Amino acid sequence: MPEVFFVQPDGTEQCVDVPAGWSLMEAARRDGIDGIVAECGGGAICGTCHVHLPEDCYSKLGAPDFTEAALLEIVPEPSPTSRLSCQVIMTDELASMRVRVPAEQLNL
């Protein structure tokens, strides 16, 4: 099963097994990752599961759709590789990536 490392603002990491086909948000919520609130439950309408992906993984996913892109314009701490973790579906190609949780996510 592919795994992902969630990196907190203080540098601590938590390894999470993410079944192929699951979103990063689903696995993060299952394993209690701090900062992945996901108030809307994965509907891509709240922005509370915002993460920063590594550039190489971001480029493998393609651009966010219109709705996700609009939300990413208003999240705290946006970056060029920001995504909503509810919209990142795990594949073997993304295994072992280090996903950064923005500090502002911990204040939601």
Sequence-distant (6+) residues with CB within 8 A of 21 are 89, 90
pLDDT per position as a tens digit, 35-83: 999 999 999 999 999 999 999 999 999 889 999 999 999 999 999 999 9
CB distance 96 to 30 below 8 Å: no
Q: What pLDDT, on a 0 to 100 scale, did the predictor assign at position 1?
A: 85
Tokens encoding 80: 């060029």
Domains of the chain are 3-107 (3.10.20.30)
Phi and psi, residue 94, nearest 5°: -95, 0
State pLDDT tens for residues 72-97. 999 999 999 999 999 999 999 999 99
pLDDT at 108: 66
- Whether the Cβ atoms of residue 52 and residue 102 lie closer than 8 Å to each other: yes
Does residue 25 register a pLDDT over 90? Answer: yes
Burial per residue of 63-93, b for 16 or more beta-carbon CB atoms within 10 angstroms, e otherwise: ebeeebeebbeebeebbebbbbbbbbebeee
- In DSSP terms, 50 is beta-bridged to 84
